[in-house]
A and B are shown apart, each in its own frame.
Chain A
């Protein structure tokens, strides 16, 4: 194509594996479904005016069903990613970010980049320090919402998995001071995740626009490009 030409010396490679990308998008879709259904469960925004002549309506039950289905999808994605981070060989570039994360100079340089006063720092891992800590916080939020979610789940479904989790659910309930508080925390954590998602999407777009390194494409195709250093 006409607009394509040799552009300096770029090097490329797979930044995110297929499994990584799948879990990211499963998680992303789950989050949106969970928010929409969760708001309904909290305060049902669709209701009927008249009773049904036959008892065949299950609107709330269906919202709950989808909430639970995507809830477990989210749990799967988060667990996969956690195991991936700590144990998968291809996550070694992610694990390399831990060292960067404790480099205060690098952290300030990254903040400086967003304040438009310093250059983007060169990191050894795939995440910059600011990003690493933001994601760490995100995992605290995810595990918080998963734990409170499972506690609420076990209280409704007393058999099978719910039954197995029941003692755990009870300890969560005791820790937070009652089932009502479990519900309140679940709701608060959702808001924290909403805010995280908005900032996350902005940062991803920002880096794609100004980084010009396929940063956004990496989460779709896995490919990341960088200008070679000489």
Chain B
């Protein structure tokens, strides 16, 4: 990790670049009803999320103030816009979405005013004008089968594959927002008819994966701020997820973990045990196999998250989760394998083979007892 001095030097350098905000960001925040105090509180909490010491809070604030120097270009591929919703759906505008959705976002299909040819032009302009310094956020997987023609965008029917490669070329950093752009997601589930993959499979540059279906707003914003702060990619885990967000399992920080260790499990939804807040492992919680910080950060301005609401984790930030984690409301041990039998779990297949072996052993023993083996 870089030290404070280097970060400060970097921010000084960024300050010299022209920003895209109509007015300086501190002024815009002020006009939108956020006091300096609110802003510094926000910075301190973000610094904590990123695992930085408290002394970094002012630096995070400075980075956010110069964030319009590294505008965000948001590319939508095969997706449902749920990740954008994760950022947008808050009960009031927050500093996160003020900075990263309104000021700093150079291009975003869902929330920009432009449409049609005008939107197309804005996109091309952004790529040209901010060449080498825009942060490319990609939402959605990229279909690759038959040259990628299962996803075409815009009036020239450009394939998503082509548009992605072209946009990634001059990006300062590439962030895969959500499980689809990170690992292919739902459309990559078996049998994956469109050959959808995570964007890192088709790019030769490093991609930071921020998976989740959707990822929390904190993880998206935190990753963008990290890139602004350090100008380099954060420390990542084996699946290229930032360690500050995906370093621990849901299970490690779960509020119901005590009930797990105690052996207190919910057997049925709506039961006495469920009311007592017992562990949801037997109702299919995949928290033990899922790396994410939901149990710490939660969603919708830290209000709640699936396990708090009474449903197990479905493991949405893991590669291949749609296939790997199913069925969602049963433990992983009841994973159904592809076979002639519709609900072939490992236990069922095992018992079947064991039964066949048992019958064969009994038959062999009986025959051997009558017709002795040759000495």
Residues of A within 8 A of B (CB): 42-44, 46-52, 55, 57-61, 63, 113-114, 116-120, 155, 170-171, 173-174, 177-181, 183-184, 187-188, 191, 194-195, 198-199, 202, 206, 210
Q: A180-B324, A194-B354, A210-B372 are in contact. Are A49 and B265 (CB under 8 A)?
A: no
CB within 8 Å of A: which of B313-342?
315, 318-321, 324-325, 331-335
- Using C-beta atoms within 8 Å of the partner chain, give the interface range for chain B: 35 or more
B39 located at the interface, meaning its Cβ lies under 8 Å from any Cβ of chain A in the complex: no
CB distance from B232 to the nearest CB of A (A): 22
Measured in the bound complex, the distance between the Cα atoms of B261 and A52 in whole Å is 13
| 29 pairs of residues in contact across A and B, judged by CB atoms under 8 Å | A42-B333, A44-B263, A44-B265, A47-B265, A47-B267, A49-B273, A50-B272, A51-B278, A52-B262, A52-B264, A60-B260, A119-B374, A170-B238, A174-B239, A177-B319, A177-B320, A178-B319, A179-B290, A179-B318, A180-B286, A180-B332, A184-B346, A187-B346, A191-B350, A191-B353, A195-B353, A202-B365, A206-B368, A210-B373
Interface pairs A-B: 4 shortest CB-CB: A59-B263, A191-B350, A42-B333, A57-B262
Measured in the bound complex, the distance between the Cα atoms of B368 and A114 in whole Å is 9
Measured in the bound complex, the distance between the Cα atoms of B286 and A181 in whole Å is 12
8 additional contacts, CB 8 Å, given A60-B263, A194-B354?
A43-B282, A43-B331, A170-B237, A174-B238, A180-B286, A180-B332, A191-B350, A195-B357
Q: A42-B331, A198-B357 are in contact. Are A120 and B263 (CB under 8 A)?
A: no
CB distance from A131 to the nearest CB of B (A): 15
Measured in the bound complex, the distance between the Cα atoms of B372 and A120 in whole Å is 12
B276 located at the interface, meaning its Cβ lies under 8 Å from any Cβ of chain A in the complex: yes
Q: A57 to B332, Cβ gap below 8 A?
A: no
Q: A44-B282, A51-B278, A113-B373 are in contact. Are A178 and B289 (CB under 8 A)?
A: yes
CB distance from B228 to the nearest CB of A (A): 28
Measured in the bound complex, the distance between the Cα atoms of B332 and A174 in whole Å is 18
Q: B315 to A43, Cβ gap below 8 A?
A: no
Measured in the bound complex, the distance between the Cα atoms of B265 and A57 in whole Å is 12
Q: B332 to A49, Cβ gap below 8 A?
A: no
Residues of B within 8 A of A (CB): 237-239, 249, 258, 260-265, 267, 272-273, 276, 278, 281-282, 286, 288-291, 315, 318-321, 324-325, 331-335, 346-347, 349-350, 353-354, 357-358, 361, 364-365, 367-368, 371-375
Measured in the bound complex, the distance between the Cα atoms of B346 and A202 in whole Å is 23
Q: B263 to A183, Cβ gap below 8 A?
A: no
The interface residues of chain A lying within 8 Å CB-to-CB of B371 are: 116
The secondary-structure label for the interface of chain A is: helix
Which residue of chain B has the shortest Cβ distance to A44 in the bound complex?
B265
Measured in the bound complex, the distance between the Cα atoms of B39 and A180 in whole Å is 40
* Residue from B262, B291, B335 within 8 A of A184 (CB atoms): B335
Measured in the bound complex, the distance between the Cα atoms of B255 and A6 in whole Å is 73
Q: A198 to B333, Cβ gap below 8 A?
A: no
Q: A47 to B282, Cβ gap below 8 A?
A: yes
CB distance from A213 to the nearest CB of B (A): 11
* Residue from A48, A155, A202 within 8 A of B249 (CB atoms): A155
Measured in the bound complex, the distance between the Cα atoms of B371 and A117 in whole Å is 10
Q: A198 to B368, Cβ gap below 8 A?
A: no
CB distance from B12 to the nearest CB of A (A): 37
Measured in the bound complex, the distance between the Cα atoms of B281 and A59 in whole Å is 14
Q: B315 to A180, Cβ gap below 8 A?
A: yes
The interface residues of chain A lying within 8 Å CB-to-CB of B289 are: 178-180, 183
Q: A173 to B332, Cβ gap below 8 A?
A: no
Measured in the bound complex, the distance between the Cα atoms of B264 and A49 in whole Å is 8
